[in-house]
Amino acid sequence: MHFGIYEMKLIRSLAVLLISAGLAAPAFAQDRKVPSSQAELRLSYAPIVQRVQPAVVNVYAAKIVQNHNPFLDDPIFRRFFGLQGGPQEQMQRSLGSGVMVDPSGLVVTNVHVIEGADQVKVSLADKREFEAEIILKDPRSDLAVLKLKDVHEKFPTLDFANSDELMVGDVVLAIGNPFGVGQTVTHGIISALARTQVGITDYQFFIQTDAAINPGNSGGALVDMTGRLAGINTAIYSRSGGSQGIGFAIPANMVRVVVASAKSGGKAVKRPWLGARLQAVTPEIAESLGLRSPTGALVASVVPNGPAARAGLKSSDLITAIDGQSIDDPNAFDYRFATHPLGGSSELDIQRAGKPLRVNVPLETAPDVGRNEIVLTSRSPFQGAKVANISPAVADELHLDADTEGVVVTEIADDSTAAGVGFQKGDIIVAVNNTKVAKTSDLEKAASSSSRLWRITLVRGGQQINVTLGG
């Protein structure tokens, strides 16, 4: 058989293609592997789940509210329908999750799960149910610690992971009680770390995950592949109310601080106080400082004789790292600083006038002398408000300037007169009926007067507001 020049070229081309295909085939086949044993067919997260599941609990909170029906004020309406007058009590229930962190029966959950509850119950994985008392609430981190009542046994717990060692892409499991359907396990990866613009708590430094988290998961566990607690699931970003693959967890290193405070018998978490106000670095500020990118925490002001002042920090210093960990913004600094134990010092890397410096800041609490926190009970627009003098500790808690004067609202009771009037936590009461309010006793005296007209001057968000009530 004879082939022409064209046919010979075609045959050579086909041969090259076949040889190339033959050489490539083994490499292509390596992308897919047939399981070679029963063990490979049974790869599973089950061993981790079986180990950690007993330490994850369901939390049920109940609150009694007064449901006032205005029609019940009408005697004819009550007689016609055979109803009793007065406000009717109604039980509001919420559900969430929690994690056993001490064998004696300590459970950590979210503050928003048990906020305002008159009764809290904890249901274990084995369906047993216990009443629990709230022994510590930390609204700044949205973490609360419960203790099971009347227990005489040791409970399974989860160990804390070092959340600073987590990496984007790590596989994690979320365990909780979504929608009250019962304990549920979902899996995903860590989508991002150090999310600081979520706006949920004071310490914004969240782990983001795509593991399905839904209502009811709050307070539940986010665990790593060693079965340790990586974080406490707290919130989701959702347009529908259900999981859309963006969930947030409080890092374990913050949880550890709150649990340690509860174990030591503290009613509040004591954290280091910097004694300085920080601000974010905008692109304009970065350009003026000659920075390549707008990162770091800029010192806006320093409290005289505070830890920052004694360490030598000055206004316009730029904090770039704390104990070797880089700082992207003030939220990142607040989290890093707050998770340090009291005592000793922290090493800050700063830039001053373009030159790098290193200072040591002592780790101590803010002075809380003269807080004099009271609840106003007399009949007035302030009835049901808890107020305090502005000590350095109060200023730190409420993000106020340390030199702020006046009396600040620290808490508002639900369904109180103060809540109905519209007072908010953080409002600074400056004057009542043209009388200056310098301390809580001044406000208590003013609220006790039998005035029918109330002229109130307050500061909210840096803006002065004048309000007239009654008349």
Each residue's pLDDT expressed in tens, for the chain with a length of 471 residues: 444 444 444 445 444 444 444 444 444 444 667 777 777 667 788 889 999 999 999 999 887 655 555 545 556 555 555 555 555 555 557 688 999 999 999 999 999 898 888 889 999 988 899 999 999 998 888 899 999 999 989 999 999 999 889 899 999 999 988 877 778 889 889 898 877 666 666 677 788 888 888 777 888 899 999 999 999 988 766 555 555 668 888 999 999 999 999 998 888 888 999 999 899 999 998 888 888 889 999 999 898 899 999 999 999 999 999 999 999 889 899 989 999 988 889 999 999 988 999 999 999 998 888 888 999 998 888 999 999 998 888 888 887 877 787 899 998 887 788 888 889 988 999 999 888 999 999 999 988 887 788 899 999 888 888 888 874
Measured over the CA atoms of residue 30, residue 33, residue 34 and residue 38, the dihedral's sign is positive
- 52-148 maps to which CATH number? 2.40.10.10
Is there a catalytic annotation at residue 391? no
CATH superfamily of 374-470: PDZ domain (2.30.42.10)
Identify the burial level of 104 via C-beta atoms within 10 angstroms of its C-beta, where 0-12 means exposed, 13-18 middle and 19 or more buried. middle
Is there a catalytic annotation at residue 142? yes
Instruction: State the pLDDT at residue 34.
Output: 73
Q: Do domains 52-148 and 276-362 have the same CATH topology?
A: no
Q: For the chain, which residues make up each domain, given as ranges?
A: 52-148, 163-263, 276-362, 374-470
Kindly report whether the global pTM for this prediction surpasses the value 0.85: no
CA 448 – CA 442 distance, rounded (Å):
10
User: Catalytic one among 94, 97, 123, 142?
Assistant: 142
User: Catalytic one among 94, 97, 112, 243?
Assistant: 112
User: Catalytic one among 97, 123, 191, 218?
Assistant: 218
CATH ID of 276-362, from 3.40.50.10240, 3.90.550.10, 2.30.42.10, 2.60.40.4070: 2.30.42.10
Report, at the CATH architecture level, how domain 163-263 is classified.
Beta Barrel (2.40)
